[in-house]
Amino acid sequence: MITKSDQTRALSLSTFTFTVCFTIWTIFSILGLQIKQELNLNDTQFGILVATPILTGALSRLILGIWTDQYGGRIVMFLTMVLSAISTYLLSSIETYGMFLVAALGVGLAGGTFAVGITYVSAWYKKEKQGTVLGIFGVGNVGAALTNFGAPFIMLALDWQGLAKTYAIIMFASAIFFYLFAKDDPKLLERRAKKEKPRSILKQIEPLKKLQVWRFSLYYFFVFGGFVALSLWLPRYYVGVYDLDIKTAGLLAASFALSGSIFRALGGWMSDKLGARTVMYWTFTACVGCCFFMSYPATHYIVEGIEGPIDFTIKINLPVFVFFSIILGFFMSLGMAAVYKHIPVYYPNNVGVVGGIVGLIGGLGGFILPIIFGIMNDLIGVFTSCFMLLFAITAIALTWMHFYILATEREIDKSKYLPELNKVERNE
């Protein structure tokens, strides 16, 4: 029997460890700036460096989600965190760009723990509370804000090698803490009691044949992938556009990461009460607006006036930009929770694999987008080009979602004799 104490233990431990993991996962947002300076990297090389851990975190989510379904979240979480901690510590002893990329691949395993935590936490709660509890777990994204806020101070005090060692020790200690105090999830214990063998991987990945899973993945590509990409990229953006020092740039980037994290629990609660579909509409509409304004580059105009040329410049000043970034982060956090509200409802027996693939695509967004941001900077020469790209992605996701919903509602009108179908679709 699952007690409330067991549920609270699972949720609190998972949220804490995911926060630590997310802190490690985004370490290159600050560490990368120092490496860029020391190795004289261009923006494309810098984008690849900060995105490399995101690649591993993304690609590992699917297999980690499957393993969690098979072997339980407790052991999978522990082993993944230990491997990531070792790779983080190795950062302090290497000097070449190529080796930094190799070590960054191992650091990125920390991001894969999201699929582990989603599967582990959802096993303890009924579907009526999935949105809220998974939203609370997702607050662990605040680790990006902790890195942007705290890492500059640690790096200034201990140099960047000291930062890597400090983060590695914290990660290793957290892994041990989780393993000692977490319990095996109830589904795993039930299978052990019945002496059932874990389902085969082929049987587990059957839901991936459905287009719906890939539609959810596109949503997450923007709301999560865009969030991770901007958490990594904004310190560079603030330094380049507003000529700020690394400490100030990190603090302002942390304001975006914080708003994109702490409201995820609110997004989960709203998805339970109002429906995930409604929350997704709000998210994409607001994000399209924010990205449109943030994509406008500083532009100098010369107008031929009656008494001669009139010069003026249109640009977004720093306080206005920070305001838009906080609003963007807020709605991204709501959207992240809304996407994952769908998964336990539609795929209760495949949370690991479906959550893994959705998280994988979202993580790939966090990997691909910073690289594209760097390439666009080098080729186009306009810093706001990153928001031009995000505007296009958001507009596509909003359009696809809207037309899918219209098509679904037409099908529901034709199938009014199927009340259960209506109930499920309206929950979305």
Is 381's pLDDT higher than 90? no
8-state DSSP, 222: I
Is residue 215 a contact partner of residue 400, using CB atoms and an 8 Å limit?
yes
Output the CA–CA distances (angstroms, integers) from residue 172 to 17, 47, 330, in the order listed. 11, 27, 31
Establish if 62 belongs to a structural domain: yes
- Label residue 215 exposed, middle or buried (CB < 10 Å: 0-12, 13-18, 19+): middle
Which residue in this structure is represented by tokens 């998972």? Answer: 14
Q: How much is the pLDDT for 421? A: 44
| H or E stretch covering 244 | none
Establish if 63 belongs to a structural domain: yes
pLDDT bracket for residue 169 (50, 70, 90): very high
- Say how far apart CA 11 and CA 3 lie, in whole Å: 13
Residue 58: give its domain's CATH number. Answer: 1.20.1250.20
- Say how far apart CA 189 and CA 159 lie, in whole Å: 46
Which residues, in sequence order, are CB contacts of 415 under 8 Å at separation 6+? 421, 422
Q: What is the value of pTM for the model shown?
A: 0.71
Tokens found for residue 110:
């920390």
pLDDT bracket for residue 201 (50, 70, 90): low
Establish if 200 belongs to a structural domain: yes
Establish if 412 belongs to a structural domain: no
pLDDT tens for each residue of 116-160: 998 888 888 877 777 788 888 888 878 877 887 788 888 888 888
Mean pLDDT score, 29-55:
83
Is 426's pLDDT higher than 50? no
Number of separate domains in the chain: 1
SS3 for 245?
A: coil
Q: How much is the pLDDT for 13? A: 93
Q: How much is the pLDDT for 172? A: 94
Which residues, listed in sequence order, are joined to residue 305 by a DSSP beta bridge?
308
Q: How much is the pLDDT for 203? A: 63
Establish if 350 belongs to a structural domain: yes
Establish if 408 belongs to a structural domain: no
Q: Please tell me which of 174-178, 263-267, 310-314, 412-416 the model is most confident about, judged by mean pLDDT.
A: 174-178
- Say how far apart CA 130 and CA 282 lie, in whole Å: 20
Choose between 288 and 46: higher pLDDT.
288
Establish if 114 belongs to a structural domain: yes
Q: How much is the pLDDT for 81? A: 94
Is 424's pLDDT higher than 70? no
- Say how far apart CA 263 and CA 250 lie, in whole Å: 20
Establish if 24 belongs to a structural domain: yes
Tokens found for residue 150:
């705290």
What is the domain range of residue 310?
A: 4-397
pLDDT tens for each residue of 71-113: 888 999 999 999 999 999 998 888 888 888 999 999 999 988 9
pLDDT tens for each residue of 292-344: 999 888 788 888 877 778 887 778 889 999 999 999 999 999 998 888 787 77
Is 14's pLDDT higher than 80? yes
Mean pLDDT score, 213-233:
86
Average pLDDT value over all residues in the chain: 83
Is 192's pLDDT higher than 50? yes
Is residue 23 a contact partner of residue 163, using CB atoms and an 8 Å limit?
no
